[in-house]
Structure 1
Amino acid sequence: MVSEHASPLAVLGGADAGGQNVHVAALATALGARGHQVTVHTRRDAPDLPARVPLAPGVVVEHVPAGPPRPVPKDELLPYMPEFAEELGRRWLDERPDVVHAHFWMSGYAALLAARDLDVPVAQTFHALGSVKRRHQREADTSPPERRWLEPRVAREADAVIATCSSEVQELCAYRVRPDSAVVIPCGVDLDLFRPDGPVALRGDRPRVLSIGRMVPRKGVDTAIEAIAAVPDAELVVAGGPGAEELDADPEARRLRALADEHGVADRVTFLGRVPHDEAPALMRSADAVVSVPWYEPFGMVPVEAMACGTPVVASAVGGHLDTVIDGVTGLHVPPRDPAALAGRLTELLADRRRRTRLGRAGARRARALYSWDRIAASTESVYEQLAGYGPRAAMAGLVGLAGGTKGARS
């Protein structure tokens, strides 16, 4: 695997550390459990990092030197990708992988450069598409200008594109991706960690609404703050971003605190800062509802994790949320960037305990049936097998949910 900026070893909650890190770590671990040997290549972003770090049985993380050994924002990494690719090529020449699976467009660019003379098939997962990012963020999009033409090229040249939701496949059509090269395989959830039973975080008597995830504008935390002002007595707990001790210095945290003060709800909005991944389930179980209302969302891990915990979800009707949250059955949809609509849905939900229970139970059933990491790994394995020639070649469409049986491949 190649994940140039999103190390599976990273601490979550920063601007560039979130769902992709979890996805790469969990998928690699699940593939290792299925008998594969998995190496995850990520950029060395500190001088004292060991060259190789075991992650799980059958899985190792390799830190690849490319650019300065310090954190660099992901949108500034493109100049270092030729160096990254050159190092990958040297390593793969010594030990050729059966399949390369790249995560994010820059990883795909580097992987294709490294694999082009080695006859190694490349699968690509974008996690976010530049075309969608530009549409929603406009001038706030910090992607390098080269992304406009390099990302579609990566999509066309990859042997398979593994999209995480159905709306992503529709977007890929504009990139002129071959129809038989695309498959939808969603992200998964750790069902041993995220489950209805387990510890519950302390809380008071107020109805609790939880927003959890990266603290960046597109995640829509401001929408949740504006909405909570119209939901009497409810509290909003905001988890994510830098550590609690660093919130005062964080521009986005300061903006959101000022917004809460402006709307007169500073006493009902609590900012926790970064929460360790293994503490998130207890926080989700303590909530009466989890809100996830980004402007756009390539997949969205938070709604699925909350569903797995049996907590009802109110999610913006965008991207992966349209696949994971069934409106009125496993959660509720609202338009993005619409505080009034969110306030209305929350008011209804918080006033109806039986409905919350019904949605929570249905969400937990759906998460357990469709989003286990073993199921996701089995579907991904099927794509790998076909690319590596272990199974009969067939169109990628239709592979979702199939479980392959060949073990021992290197990726």
Structure 2
Amino acid sequence: VFCPLSVVAKLNYHLSVRLNFLSINRFERKKNLGLAISAFALLRSVVSKQPGDALREASLTVAGGYDKRLKENVEYLEELKRLAATEGVSEHVKFVTSCSSSERNELLSNCLCVLYTPKDEHFGIVPLEAMAAYKPVIACNSGGPVETVVNEATGFLCDPSPIEFSKAMLKFVSDHDLAVRMGKQARDRVVQKFSTKTFGDLLNSYVLNVYHQRME
């Protein structure tokens, strides 16, 4: 059984936060990565109207699976770059294609939180990897994240719109300790609900249940 804890077992956790938001997913249109870019742009526009330089160093990293042989991957990456330019945030958005496990772990270690943008997605391993790395998750309030992310405890579940995502992002910008607190709760949830032992115990109970049913 796959366990997200094994992915980040050797990660050097950083409980201090940086103003870097991270999106991890394949470069496919159904993953709705443009939502992260538009939400980030909206966040910057809102905070720029407030006193101080809270977002001067803020950034967004969009990382994920990419295959230059796949037409959709190539086209969609270019679409996202154009969107970042249109939104005026090109200087603050970094695209990382086909990063290794160690690179992904480093990105997780150095981010404020993870943005998970697919709508009506299946279970999805990214939110669990993020929470295993002590990072809260902002995700759409549909599909798999509804089962894995506890709203207002290990992250935020939002309508899939830039304004709703940006509101959740602003909460972390306004209160850096919030990301740390939620990150610790996120890690605890993964350990308690999605660890190898938990999966093993559930699988064993299912097997025993089937066995007893057949023996009756």
Instruction: Give me the TM-score of the superposition, normalised by structure 1.
Output: 0.45
Match of residue 330 from structure 1: 154
Q: Distance in 2 between matches of 1:246 and 1:320?
A: 26
Match of residue 309 from structure 1: 133
Distance 1:343 1:356, change over 3 A: same
* % same residue: 27
Count of aligned pairs: 200
Q: Are 2:30 and 1:209 equivalent residues in the alignment? A: no
Q: Which of 231, 239, 245 is matched with 2:43 structurally?
A: 231
Match of residue 265 from structure 1: 89
Contact 1:293 1:315 in 2 (8 A): yes
- C-alpha RMSD of matched pairs (Å): 2.7
How far the C-alpha of 1:386 sits from its partner, in A, is 4.8
SS for the counterpart of 1:214 is coil
How far the C-alpha of 1:374 sits from its partner, in A, is 3.5
Distance 1:352 1:198, change over 3 A: same
1:15-50 Cα offsets, whole Å, 9 max, x none, are xxxxxxxxxxxx2xxxxxxxxxxxxxxxxxxxxxxx
Gaps of 5+ in 1: 1-26, 28-187, 395-411
Contact 2:13 2:133 in 1 (8 A): no
Question: Relative contact order: is structure 1 or structure 2 higher (C-alpha 8 Å, sep ≥ 6)?
Answer: 2
Contact 2:192 2:198 in 1 (8 A): no
What is the 5 A alignment of 1:58-77? Answer: none
Q: Distance in 1 between matches of 2:5 and 2:113?
A: 19
Q: Could you tell me which amino acid in structure 1 is paired with residue 30 of structure 2?
A: R
Q: Distance in 1 between matches of 2:105 and 2:83?
A: 27
Contact 1:218 1:296 in 2 (8 A): no
Distance 1:206 1:256, change over 3 A: same
Q: Distance in 1 between matches of 2:107 and 2:155?
A: 18
Q: Are 2:212 and 1:392 equivalent residues in the alignment? A: yes
Match of residue 31 from structure 2: 219
Distance 1:199 1:246, change over 3 A: farther
Distance 1:214 1:344, change over 3 A: same
Match of residue 190 from structure 1: 4
Match of residue 185 from structure 1: none
Q: Could you tell me which amino acid in structure 1 is paired with residue 213 of structure 2?
A: R
Distance 1:207 1:196, change over 3 A: farther
Q: Could you tell me which amino acid in structure 2 is paired with residue 280 of structure 1?
A: R
How far the C-alpha of 1:359 sits from its partner, in A, is 0.4
